[in-house]
Chains A and B, each alone.
Chain A
């Protein structure tokens, strides 16, 4: 059962990563690109977790946690820069 489901899920998540890239390249405004990056890191976490189940390794969770942390900080820093013109005041 899992052997069928995981490749399907990997394909779906990979397709969503591709769509995020499309929005990242095309996005008419800066904020669209930031939103695309934000979605991209969440999709990367999903991809890593799926790969972890597929391979059967728990090594990927630390990577996923780090990506979650850094992605959030990146989004907040970019938004802060757009709003205030400075990141740390």
Chain B
């Protein structure tokens, strides 16, 4: 009976890992790509580790708690690294494929007009570095 439970957990984990990496390959822009692996992989590897924990608790002497350690560590670190990646992407200036909302667009136009006037007033100042342009596949 427990064998079936272990098999189910292993299959679920492997399929979720696969789906996460498929998202990494197929999705169109960095922010959506970030979404795929970080969610799916955590669940997938979590399932695999729980299966392994049950397996070694049955077939070897004593409880096997190494996997719980890895699971807790992964569950703590995966959101942190995803957050760091998103922050770095915003800092570098990656564009998302989503359209800019109209209010923001109007604000931006106003802002750029004001910036142009400021530039005219302070001629000779070098233009600010442009954000890195990205080519999305």
Contacts and interface: CB of A to CB of B under 8 A. Distances in A.
Contacts of B24: 19-20, 23, 35-36, 39
Nearest to B87: A83
B135 interface: yes
Chain A interface helix/strand/loop/mixed: helix
Interface size class of B (residues with CB under 8 A): 35 or more
B17 A46 contact: yes
Chain B interface helix/strand/loop/mixed: helix
A20 B44 contact: no
Interface string B31-43: 0011001000110
Interface residues of A, number: 51
A52 B66 CA distance: 12
Contacts of A30: 92
Interface of B: 3-4, 6-7, 10-11, 13-15, 17-18, 20-22, 24-25, 30, 33-34, 37, 41-42, 44-45, 48-49, 51-52, 55-56, 59-60, 64, 66-67, 69-70, 73-74, 77-78, 80-81, 84-85, 87-89, 91-92, 94, 132, 134-137
